[in-house]
């Protein structure tokens, strides 16, 4: 659902958002999107790009699936 509810925008507003909405809370380009989540997935991968690259290359060379790290599904 998309809304331009001024009271909700006011509640969620932070001054740092002026980088994207220079006219502030009253910027005509600002709106809110409500997302109702039923299921979510996440991957916890190593932070180091070298580790990710080695894992990717290993998968390409061996033809096996690349497993970047922990993966979990969450039912909400």
Integer Cα distance of 59 and 48 in angstroms: 17
pLDDT one-digit tens code per residue, 14-62: 999 999 999 999 999 999 999 998 888 877 766 777 777 777 888 888 8
pTM of the predicted model over 0.75: no
**Cα dist from 64 to 50, 56, 57, 60, 67, whole Å:** 19, 10, 10, 7, 9
Which band of pLDDT confidence, cut at 50, 70 and 90, is reported for residue 68? low
Integer Cα distance of 53 and 16 in angstroms: 34
């Amino acid at each position: 659902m998309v809304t331009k509810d001024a009271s909700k925008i006011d509640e969620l507003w932070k001054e740092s958002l002026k980088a994207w909405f220079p006219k502030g809370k009253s910027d005509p380009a600002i709106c809110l999107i409500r997302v109702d989540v039923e299921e979510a997935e996440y991957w916890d991968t190593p932070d180091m790009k070298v580790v990710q690259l080695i894992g990717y290359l290993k998968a390409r060379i061996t033809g096996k699936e690349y497993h970047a790290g922990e993966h979990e599904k969450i039912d909400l």
